[in-house]
Structure 1
Amino acid sequence: MKNEPVIGLIPAAGSGTRLYPFSRAVPKEMYPILGKAVIEHCVENLRAGGVEKVFIIVGHQKGAIMDYIGDGSFFGVKAAYIFQMMRKGLGHAILQARNWIQGTFITILGDSFIEPKEEIKDLIDLHQRHKPVATLLVFEVDDPSEYGVVKLGKMLDHHGDVQSLAEKPAKEKAKEFANNDKYYAITGAYVFEPKIFDYIDLTKAGGKGEVQITDAIALAIEKGEKVMALILKGKYIDIGKWQTIFDVEAKLLRAPDTSVYVKDRERIMRLIKDLENSNMEK
């Protein structure tokens, strides 16, 4: 039986306080990495996974994202926008898409940098084979207290069931999440069944009045739902603080050949100019 098309969802309404003063003027999702805004890298991740339709959650001072991505045609997708009136956490942001998404969907946070981009296809394929309520892309970390971490069951070919998860656990509690002396944190990529909306609805707001998606996933596990995780074989970087931005720039600028990035930017520029010229002729 053929699977229904997976919809993409990019939450991009956060304030980006860790990138002040830059993010006071420009959305953090617009930070350029090798000539591309971070959110364009997210769209490329989705496209590499076979996703053709993308919803982007935006909010106050996020108009630059809409100007940049537009209808998505320059980037090989169909893009539409959903407005989050108040910033009440990632869970609340995802919930804004409830009336537009009725099937399987993949969420990639708008400040996530994941390479290689084809890893998203592996994540979607795993989810579609097993159909859990959620499938998380995770990566190995040294300090679990800095991340949302998962406790995994028996591993099979880089994936397994998620037994429990916690957001930035204290040092002593973090030991409970060791997997053969390794710790795995949640990246900015998740595949969900629409049932997750029900669990977000049932999730109580935590600190600062925010509804966290990790709490909703934990509630789903508590209620007996199956949740899975795939271990990332490549790299994940949260472009949400200066240190990680400098790290990724240093790595990318050591690349032996950047001509491929220049050619891609020139291709997009030609498309935009052609569209502008055709509009002027009408």
Structure 2
Amino acid sequence: MPSSPPAQPLRIALLQSSGRPGSVAANLTVLDEAAGRAAAAGAALLVTSEMFLTGYAIGEGVHRLAESADGDGADAVADIAARHGLGIVYGYPERDGAQVFNSVQLIDAAGARLANYRKTHLFGGFEQEAFVPGQQPVVQAELGGLRVGLMICYDVEFPENVRAHALAGTDLLLVPTAQMHPFQFVAESLVPVRAFESQMYIAYVNRTGPEGEGADAFEFVGLSCLASPDGATRVRGGQGEELLVGEVDPALLSASRETNPYLRDRRPGLYGSLA
């Protein structure tokens, strides 16, 4: 069943940016500056895009720059979070032995690592060649009185994934993404519908502009958003780099869950064949 939400809204910042692909040091500088602006705006949490720490379309750089969940990159992000006093969710390539995963990590305002998620649905040949798929669909942590869930890009396009989070009580689903042309409809239409049908907030945070070369060249479309359980889009980005700030309102979440019957009216016994 859904958890009982807190009394106070949680202000979050969405960093719509591709950073500086290929340079961890430059991306940490971008993150540090954004964290300062987010904290000044009263945000308690800053969410970046997919693979923000290294860049997405960086070819063999994915494996060269991959590191463990407690590596130097994590330490640097933890320092930024602690200095600015806000939580940070960032995307990065995670090395675990010989395997590399497309991962996101949540670090709290004290610099502690709260949760790490490995992308379960890999999109296209680039990702399927570069990464191993994760096996844990629901990863959660408690932050600011909310039950926060983690997911990455293509994962949110599978309704089963989001519904699993709903049944596990996720209040706010954080989705760093690398959404590219011509799939803008995902950001524009699908994400708000997911928020409505599974009764949660969804923060969908994208990259921007061109990246990569040849067959691995992509045009990221921006359009980051914070969608709410009533199906509305509370915050919407354009196509350029920007820092968006919005609020997760527990009162709206509670009222919407009381009104919307989707989760109560499910008949799981009919759905077994779908698995």
What TM-score do the two structures reach when normalised by structure 1?
0.28
Q: Looking at CA atoms only, which structure, 1 or 2, has the larger radius of gyration?
A: 1
Query: TM-score scaled by structure 2?
Result: 0.29
Structure in which a larger fraction of residues adopt helix: 1
